[in-house]
Amino acid sequence: MAKQANQRTKRKGNKAKSVVRGGVRGFFDRLFSKRSIIVVSGHTTTHVPFSARAQLLMSVAVLGFVGFGSYFGGSYMAAQQVINEKEQKLASFEQENAKVEAEFALLKQDLMKLAEGGKGAKTAEAAKEIVEQFSAGASPATATPAGATEADAQYNVVFNRIQFLEAKVKDLQTDHDAMIAGIRATTGGKIKEIEKVIARTGINAEPLRRAAEAKQIQEDQRREKYGRTQAATSDGQGGPYEPLPTSVLKEKETELYFDLRKLMTLNDVVSAMPLAQPMATNYRKTSGFGTRVDPFRGTLSVHAGVDLAGPSGTKVLATNSGRIDFAGWKTAYGNVVDVKHEYGFTTRYGHLRQILVRPGQLVKKGQAIAIQGSTGRSTGDHLHYEVRYNDKPINPANFLKAGEDVQALN
């Protein structure tokens, strides 16, 4: 009897699992049913099958790409906020230090007044004035020796105040130096990480950094001349303009100032480089960059890009924001799109079946600009992808790897 009961319980459990599996399978079958894409070219209509597996892979890839972009953008904004908070804290330290130094200077002036006044009634009146000015915040005075005059007692109060202020200035300077050292250590680490990412692409980071710095100077000058720029935030802001004292960073902490500027410019460079994937779905590399055997002639030739093959009908994506420099037919490339980015970078997408953009159009990172194809000098459906720096071809595989490094940093 017990054995039969166990068997019935087991059969009920298996039946429940089958119902659950069937429900899940039915849900995915409805969500990713077999579809086809209708392509109209001239007077012909072609039905391109779009399998459920391809739909699922494309959905997963798109979600991953969007998540990467959001995470990278959020990390960059968070780093920017941390730098701004540290600059504000540094300014607060410097302002407090300036107040103490001003108070100390005032005491020195009063002491000079005492010295010039002599030891008579005028000296006593000057000393009394000093005591009245600082009695609220003065440090405890030491005991006055027996037989000392009233003027001597007033001098003791003033000197005790000076010692108190000197100790406070020293403490402020110690805290200030420790904070500066901490910020420089963090900033230096970030700079090295970004320089490694840029070096991975095979490009010297220094010229790019100088170009980004020149751009930042131009933006600062434009902002100074015209006020609010097109890049201004859309959130409500306002208030009187009170510039940060130049002594806060530029005079006393020039090394930190330049480190922060360098970090900002390198961040700008990395965010402008074409480091994203040119296709959302899974693809395979069919030909590399550099010397290869020509697929038509069978002899050695130079290949200025990489060939990437994805499923038929795969969308081609802009690997960073930019302006369409060319969109049309280029002999061996077939249908081709060139995107011009900042700092001398250009990306080229060749052998396209269909072009989705027009010359002069602004595109965003990850935007679909074409459909993979086999036009021009091509043996099959794929994407010919190039990255050029100052019109010189650079191995795109280095940029794709650098993009993975950026994702790992975040």
What pLDDT, in 10s, does the model give residues 90-115? 677 667 666 666 666 666 666 555 55
pLDDT band at 309 (very low <50, low <70, confident <90, very high): very high
Q: What is the DSSP string of 248-292?
A: IIIIT-HHHHHHHHHHHHHHHHHHHS--S-SBSS--EEEE-SEEE
Q: In the 8-state DSSP scheme, what is residue 342?
A: G
Phi, psi of 41, rounded to the nearest 5 degrees? -135, 110
Does residue 328 carry a pLDDT above 90? yes
Question: Comparing 374 with 129, which gets the higher pLDDT?
Answer: 374
> What is the rounded CA–CA span in Å between residue 62 and residue 57?
9
pLDDT band at 363 (very low <50, low <70, confident <90, very high): very high
Question: Comparing 258 with 376, which gets the higher pLDDT?
Answer: 376
Alpha carbon of residue 337 to chain centroid: 27
Q: Give burial (CB, 10 Å; 0-12/13-18/19+) of 290.
A: exposed
pLDDT of residue 26: 63
Question: Comparing 359 with 140, which gets the higher pLDDT?
Answer: 359
Does residue 81 carry a pLDDT above 80? no
In terms of average pLDDT, the best of 64-73, 150-159, 201-210, 309-318 is 309-318
Please compute the mean of the pLDDT values over residues 163-167 and round it to a whole number: 72
Does residue 286 carry a pLDDT above 50? yes
pLDDT of residue 232: 40
Share of the chain above pLDDT 90, in %: 27
Contact present, 93 and 168 (Cβ < 8 Å): no
Q: What is the DSSP string of 44-112?
A: EEEEEEE-HHHHHHHHHHHHHHHHHHHHHHHHHHHHHHHHHHHHHHHHHHHHHHHHHHHHHHHHHHHHH
Q: In the 8-state DSSP scheme, what is residue 43?
A: T
pLDDT of residue 207: 87
> What is the rounded CA–CA span in Å between residue 184 and residue 341?
31
Helix (H) or strand (E) holding 394: strand 392-394
Strand partners, 37: 48
Nearest by Cα to 258 from 209, 203, 205:
209
pLDDT in tens, 242-266: 555 545 454 456 777 788 888 888 8
pLDDT in tens, 383-398: 999 999 999 999 999 9
Burial state string for 275-288 with b = 16 or more CB within 10 A and e = fewer than 16:
bbbbbbbebeeebe
Does residue 135 carry a pLDDT above 60? no
pLDDT of residue 393: 95
Strands 300-303 and 290-293: antiparallel
Nearest by Cα to 383 from 346, 348, 344, 340:
348
> What is the rounded CA–CA span in Å between residue 382 and residue 395?
18
pLDDT band at 333 (very low <50, low <70, confident <90, very high): very high
Please compute the mean of the pLDDT values over residues 114-141 and round it to a whole number: 50
Contact present, 352 and 375 (Cβ < 8 Å): yes
Contact present, 184 and 255 (Cβ < 8 Å): yes
Structure tokens at 318: 């802009």
Does residue 225 carry a pLDDT above 50? yes
Q: Set out the domains of the chain in order of their start, with CATH numbers.
A: 85-227+246-272 (no CATH), 284-409 (2.70.70.10)
Is 136 strand, coil or helix?
A: coil
